[in-house]
């Protein structure tokens, strides 16, 4: 019925060559997608429109990568044959692809001899059609056998599926039974453990009772012994008290004798003072001027003075001491008196310019304070002397030559005797003119801690990394102002999610609570150190190498050639420094990616990463600087060794800066 409903198109035998190929080209895409060339080629060969060479080219050419490209190439070859090629193509479609033939031509396929163009003889055409029908019947039989086989397999699979479902239900039941038995076993084990614990508690209580009984016996014996000893001790104490009473009586008698001698000495001194005043009055009556008087008459006696070698200790009323004295110098040269205000208490007791101040003692808030100025900086000396607001004791080394130091108090370069080296623990930009821009771990040579006209600043210079030479000079914030900047930076870090530069935190004693103070001020307070005092060291030979993490350093030991790699950890650094050995410390940072780049020898990637994470926090506690290698700066073991050798060559030339707490 469907075939009868198809409209009859024009008979293609009546069409010309151009019309036939126009009909084929209009359906070229449909033919290329649905037709297989191997199905049509036998008929086309039989119709003599394709040669054997054309067949090989269509089926085996490597440039034709799929069936559509082969069909398209076959159509091009048939187009060369003209009308015969088109007729042969349509007849092959009518035999092998009847539905596609109907869509292309609009006609029903026909197997009658009149439906063919005569390109093939009738006998040959019949033979070809018989072969085609036989092949189709064989394919149909194979398809039916395959369908029967698939039905049997489906039945078998359904049977197996039913068995699997039954086995699943059985396994669920067994699993539930297993869980129930497991719970029962766990409950029984808990009961056993509980019984064991109760038994252990009973044993412990029994043992404790036995020990308590033994302790009670021992305590009773000790009490009896203490009673006997206390009786003997009381007798001895009674005798000691009698001896102390006699000793105190003798000391009282000696003190009375000393008081008598002191009173007699005071009376002699008063008499001597009256005698001197009388001589002075007589001297004035003779008309002599004060300027021509002998020195021993011009200088009044100090209140308290004692001479110990070349050190002179003077006691006087030091109210506003910096208003009475002007000092210069520093830790390198010492602190010296530059100028004494005339008419002050310091001038009255005989303090002269050029004397070196070694120590100051005074009282503050009912506490006795003592500060040694012999090695202090000018800033510390000014701070310490500024704290004096009452009676004080100055220990001086007088100028034996009687000449003052040729230092101008207004010359900031000459007035300061400071000279020490610090390591910077923060980054400071050069914000103002003359200020020095520094970065974390820079080494500075501080030449003045109290420059004139730069309050709250130090004069400092960058230091050459390989020679002890001063480079660019400028001012940096002093310790206290830098500490406030550091605290402000840390506060900003806590409120803003911004990545700041490295800031090092240290736990040390505060600067004005150093060993120079013997007062009862609090020690060991936690403070932030913007600067760390360091000293230079020059290793006499090539420095050894310490590679971290430790397990990676042992693996790279034999690959660095002539360099000496120490198989030690970070806990040996201070002992090596005491022995004048200053190793080059190189930390190779690790990540999950970089651990797979090196060859492992008896350790895993997890162990290497754990060792790196454990040793990295200990690096900030070292008394010296170290070099770090980023995990992204090398790709394999060869690149890592090249980077390590370049770092070692750089570090061998540099000065070693060490914190001086070990020296």
Output the DSSP codes for 247-310: HHHHHHHHHHHHHHHHHHHHHHHHHHHHHHHHHHHHHHHTT--STTS-HHHHSPPPSEEEEETT
Which DSSP state fits 6? Answer: S
We report the CATH number of the domain holding residue 503 as 2.30.30.40
What per-residue confidence (pLDDT) applies to 245? Answer: 82
Token pair of 586 as six digits: 């190189």
What per-residue confidence (pLDDT) applies to 54? Answer: 86
**From the CB of residue 360, how many other CB atoms can be counted at a distance below 10 Å?**
23
Same domain, 387 and 497: no
Report whether 547 contacts 442 (CB < 8 A).
Answer: no
Range of the domain at 646: 538-662
What are the helix (H) ranges across 308-399? 321-324, 345-348, 378-386
Report whether 586 contacts 548 (CB < 8 A).
Answer: yes
Same domain, 382 and 440: no
User: How many domains, in total, are found in the chain?
Assistant: 4
Same domain, 433 and 468: yes
Question: Ramachandran region of residue 347, left (φ > 0), alpha (ψ -120 to 50) or beta?
Answer: alpha
How far apart CA 232 and CA 238 sit, in angstroms, is 10
Report whether 656 contacts 621 (CB < 8 A).
Answer: no
- Of the candidates 34, 42, 39, 15, the one whose C-alpha atom is nearest the C-alpha of residue 105 is 15
CA 33 to mean position of chain CA atoms:
65
- CA of 630: how far to CAs of 481, 584, 618, in Å? 34, 17, 17
Same domain, 336 and 423: no
The verdict on residue 184 lying in a domain is: no
What pTM value is reported for the model? Answer: 0.50
Same domain, 657 and 542: yes
The verdict on residue 236 lying in a domain is: no
The verdict on residue 615 lying in a domain is: yes
What are the helix (H) ranges across 469-568? 479-495, 550-555
The verdict on residue 204 lying in a domain is: no
What per-residue confidence (pLDDT) applies to 288? Answer: 32
Q: CA 290, 294, 295 angle in degrees (round to 5)?
A: 100
Pairing of strands 584-588, 545-548: parallel
Same domain, 552 and 651: yes
How far apart CA 610 and CA 606 sit, in angstroms, is 6
Same domain, 544 and 479: no
Same domain, 599 and 559: yes
Q: Which residues contact 663 (CB under 8 A, 6 or more apart)?
A: 535
Report whether 446 contacts 458 (CB < 8 A).
Answer: yes
What per-residue confidence (pLDDT) applies to 124? Answer: 63
The verdict on residue 299 lying in a domain is: no
* Residue after which a domain boundary falls, among 120, 138, 155: 120
pLDDT digits (tens, 9 = 90+) for 600-628: 666 788 888 888 888 888 888 888 999 99
Q: Which residues contact 616 (CB under 8 A, 6 or more apart)?
A: 587, 589
We report the CATH number of the domain holding residue 606 as 3.40.50.300
Low-confidence residues in the chain, pLDDT < 70 = 1-13, 111-130, 133, 137, 269, 272-273, 275-309, 400-415, 493-527, 599-602, 661-663
What per-residue confidence (pLDDT) applies to 129? Answer: 65
232-250 burial code (b ≥16 CB/10 A, e <16): eeeeeeeeeeeeeeeeeee
Same domain, 650 and 586: yes
Same domain, 545 and 657: yes
Same domain, 509 and 548: no
What per-residue confidence (pLDDT) applies to 51? Answer: 87
How far apart CA 470 and CA 460 sit, in angstroms, is 9
Same domain, 630 and 546: yes
- Of the candidates 94, 100, 142, the one whose C-alpha atom is nearest the C-alpha of residue 119 is 94
We report the CATH number of the domain holding residue 331 as 2.30.42.10
The verdict on residue 36 lying in a domain is: yes
We report the CATH number of the domain holding residue 104 as 1.10.533.10
Q: Is 447 helix (H, G, I), strand (E, B) or coil?
A: strand
- Of the candidates 631, 616, 624, 611, the one whose C-alpha atom is nearest the C-alpha of residue 660 is 624
What per-residue confidence (pLDDT) applies to 123? Answer: 59
Pairing of strands 457-463, 443-448: antiparallel
The verdict on residue 127 lying in a domain is: no
The verdict on residue 274 lying in a domain is: no
Q: Is 448 helix (H, G, I), strand (E, B) or coil?
A: strand
């Amino acid at each position: 019925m469907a075939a009868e409903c198809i409209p009859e198109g024009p008979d293609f035998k009546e069409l010309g060559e151009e019309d036939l190929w126009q009909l084929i080209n209009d359906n070229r895409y449909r033919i290329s997608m649905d037709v297989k060339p191997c199905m049509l080629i036998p008929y086309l060969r039989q119709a003599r429109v394709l040669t054997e060479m054309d067949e090989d080219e269509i089926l085996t050419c490597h440039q034709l990568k799929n069936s559509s490209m082969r069909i398209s190439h076959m159509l091009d070859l048939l187009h060369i044959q003209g009308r015969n090629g088109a007729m042969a193509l349509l007849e092959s479609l009518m035999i092998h692809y009847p539905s596609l033939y109907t869509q292309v031509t609009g006609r029903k396929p026909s197997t009658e001899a009149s439906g063919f163009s005569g390109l093939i003889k009738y006998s040959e055409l019949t033979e070809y059609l018989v072969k085609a029908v036989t092949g189709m019947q064989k394919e149909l039989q194979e398809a039916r056998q395959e369908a029967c086989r698939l039905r049997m397999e489906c039945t078998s699979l359904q049977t197996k599926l039913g068995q699997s479902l039954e086995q699943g239900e059985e396994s669920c039941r067994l699993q539930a039974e297993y869980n129930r038995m497991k719970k029962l076993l766990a409950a029984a084990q808990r009961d056993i453990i509980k019984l064991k614990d109760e038994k252990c508690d009973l044993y412990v209580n029994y043992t404790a009772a036995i020990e308590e009984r033994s302790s009670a016996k021992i305590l009773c014996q000790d009490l009896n012994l203490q009673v006997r000893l206390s009786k003997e001790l009381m007798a001895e104490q009674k005798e000691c008290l009698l001896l102390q009473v006699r000793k105190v009586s003798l000391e009282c008698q000696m003190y009375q004798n000393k008081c008598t001698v002191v009173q007699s000495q005071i009376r002699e001194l008063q008499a001597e003072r009256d005698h001197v005043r009388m001589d002075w009055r007589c001297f004035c009556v003779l008309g002599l001027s004060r300027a021509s008087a002998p020195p021993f008459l011009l200088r009044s006696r100090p209140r308290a003075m004692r001479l110990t070698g070349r050190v002179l200790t003077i006691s006087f009323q030091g109210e506003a001491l910096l208003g009475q004295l002007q000092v210069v110098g520093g830790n390198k040269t010492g602190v010296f008196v530059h100028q004494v205000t005339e008419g002050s208490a310091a001038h009255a007791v005989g303090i002269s310019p050029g004397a070196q101040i070694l120590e100051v003692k005074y009282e503050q808030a009912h506490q006795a304070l003592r500060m040694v100025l012999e090695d202090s900086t000018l800033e510390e000396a000014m701070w310490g002397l500024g704290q004096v607001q009452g009676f004080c004791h100055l220990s001086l080394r007088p100028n034996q030559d009687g000449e003052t130091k040729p230092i101008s108090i207004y010359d900031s370069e000459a007035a300061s005797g400071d000279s020490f080296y610090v390591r910077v623990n923060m980054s400071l930009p050069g914000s103002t003119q003359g200020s020095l821009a520094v970065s974390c771990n820079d080494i500075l040579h501080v030449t003045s801690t109290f420059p004139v006209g730069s309050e709250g600043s130090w004069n400092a210079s960058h230091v050459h990394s390989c020679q002890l030479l001063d480079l660019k000079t400028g001012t940096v914030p002093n310790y206290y102002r830098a500490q406030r900047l550091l605290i402000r930076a840390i506060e900003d870090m806590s409120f803003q999610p911004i990545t700041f530069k490295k800031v090092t935190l240290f736990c040390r004693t505060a600067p004005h609570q150093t060993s120079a103070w013997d007062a009862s001020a609090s020690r060991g307070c936690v403070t932030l150190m913007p600067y760390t005092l360091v000293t230079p060291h020059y290793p006499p030979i090539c420095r050894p190498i310490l590679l971290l993490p430790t397990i990676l350093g042992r693996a790279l030991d034999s690959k660095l050639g002539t360099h000496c790699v120490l198989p030690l950890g970070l806990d040996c650094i201070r002992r090596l420094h005491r022995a004048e050995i200053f190793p080059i410390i190189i930390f190779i940072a690790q990540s999950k990616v970089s651990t797979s780049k090196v060859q492992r020898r008896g350790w895993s990637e997890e162990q290497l990463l754990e060792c790196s994470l454990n040793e990295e926090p200990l690096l900030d506690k070292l008394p010296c600087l170290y070099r770090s290698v980023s995990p992204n700066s090398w790709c394999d073991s060869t690149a890592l060794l090249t980077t390590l050798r370049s770092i070692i060559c750089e570090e061998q030339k540099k000065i070693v800066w060490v914190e001086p707490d070990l020296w």
